[in-house]
């Protein structure tokens, strides 16, 4: 899985390790929870992606479940957004996910089994002021997953999207308190999300029982994005 050093990714890595999977967590820092193989890999660098897969395959064998979770934000209103703000978010969130999915697919097809899960966001379909780069990258993941699903569905490989709403992690800790209270009012479930809410959906999509679900987007947002 990518982005396993902190937040949602770290929780997913812990959950899968506790369930008995052999788990590798990649990130730029390479930090990982106990019992998980930590691998340094910046997903914006194709050479590092290849090296990480080689290292993980040597340690654990071919990747059966890929969770493309690593993501960043560089928020600002469109009139102030630089090309660099746009490019870096697209390159990490969307192109980085493409890179790891592309590398994972061939061995999955060979094994006739694979589960690819992209971590998107409620804002991909809802939109969000100050986040044209981030929302575009997250909406792009749905097109990526659905096209992949059509390409490889008959080979036992599924590709799905999990779209979290507001989850309490480092990424959201920086947000203004008034903004957070505003979000809370719009969430039908009446609370912010916990990383465990997201891990449950990912675990289900990765399971053998979910083999007939592909090209789907599962919202984990307390109802915030309903209707989209
Ligand atoms: P965090 O900022 O807490 O963690 C992000 C993770 O991504 C870290 O492990 C980080 O590790 C890794 N990462 C960032 N850039 C790169 C890179 N270039 N190469 C490899 N790894 C990288 O974020 P969250 O846990 O909150 O978010 C996880 C995912 O969930 C993201 O895709 C985010 O967009 C999405 N999401 C989060 C929501 C929330 O409310 N928190 C809501 C909706 C979606 P390191 O810095 O060591 O590289």
User: Which of the two residues, 170 and 163, has the higher pLDDT score?
Assistant: 163
Scored b (16 or more CB within 10 A) or e, 33-56 reads beebbbbebbbbeeebbeebbebb
Residues with a catalytic annotation lie at: 134
In this prediction, residue 225 carries a pLDDT of 96
Residue 216 has pLDDT above 90, yes or no: yes
The CA-CA-CA angle for residues 144, 146, 149, to 5°, reads 110
Structure tokens given for 129: 């002021």
The stretch 164-183 carries a mean pLDDT of: 89
Question: What confidence tier does 39 reach under pLDDT thresholds 50, 70, 90?
Answer: very high
> How far away, in angstroms, is 160 Cα from ligand 1 center?
18
What is the mean pLDDT of the segment spanning 47-57? 98
Predicted local confidence at residue 35, as pLDDT: 96
Give me ligand 1 centre to Cα 8, in Å: 7
Q: How many Å lie between the centroid of ligand 1 and the Cα of residue 5?
A: 9
Sheet holding 114-119, edge to edge: 65-68, 114-119, 157-164, 217-220
**Band of the pLDDT at 179, cuts 50, 70, 90?**
confident
Mean pLDDT of 132-148: 98
The finding on whether 9 has its CB within 6 A of some atom of ligand 1 is yes
- Residue among 117, 83, 98 at smallest CA distance from 43: 98
Does 28 sit in the ligand 1 pocket, CB within 6 Å? Answer: yes
The protein residue with its alpha carbon nearest to ligand 1, atom 46, reads 28
Measured distance CA(81)–CA(123) in Å, rounded:
18
Ligand 1 proximity of 2 Cβ (cutoff 6 Å) = yes
82-136 pLDDT, tens digit per residue, is: 999 999 999 999 999 999 999 999 999 999 999 999 999 999 999 999 999 999 9
Query: Residue 134 annotated as binding?
Result: yes
Higher pLDDT, 178 or 222: 222
Token readout for 167 is 């989850």
Percent helix / strand / coil, the chain, rounded to 5: 50, 15, 35
Say how far apart CA 108 and CA 118 lie, in whole Å. 16
Greatest extent of the chain over all pairs of C-alpha atoms, in Å: 51
Contact 154, 109 (CB under 8 A): no
CATH number at 7-215: 3.40.50.720
């Amino acid at each position: 899985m990518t982005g396993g050093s902190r937040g949602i990714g770290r929780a997913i890595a812990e959950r899968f390790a506790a369930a008995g999977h052999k788990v590798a967590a990649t990130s730029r820092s390479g930090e990982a929870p106990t019992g998980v193989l930590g691998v340094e890999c910046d997903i914006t660098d194709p050479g590092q992606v290849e090296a990480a897969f080689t290292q993980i395959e040597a340690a654990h064998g071919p990747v059966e479940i890929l969770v493309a979770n690593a993501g960043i934000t560089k928020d600002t209103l469109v009139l102030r957004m630089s090309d660099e703000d746009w490019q870096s978010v697209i390159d990490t969130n969307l192109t980085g996910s493409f890179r790891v999915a592309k590398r994972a697919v061939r061995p999955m097809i060979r094994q006739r089994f694979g589960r690819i899960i992209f971590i998107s966001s409620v804002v991909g379909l809802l939109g969000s002021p100050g986040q044209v780069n981030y929302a575009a990258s997250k909406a792009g993941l749905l097109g990526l997953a659905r096209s992949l699903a059509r390409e490889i569905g008959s080979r036992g490989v599924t590709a799905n999207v999990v779209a979290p709403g507001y989850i309490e992690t480092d990424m959201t800790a920086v947000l203004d308190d008034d903004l957070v209270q505003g979000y809370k009012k719009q969430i039908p479930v009446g609370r912010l999300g916990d990383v465990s809410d997201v891990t449950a959906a990912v675990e289900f999509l990765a399971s053998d029982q979910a083999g007939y679900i592909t090209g789907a987007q599962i919202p984990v947002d307390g109802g915030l994005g309903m209707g989209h």
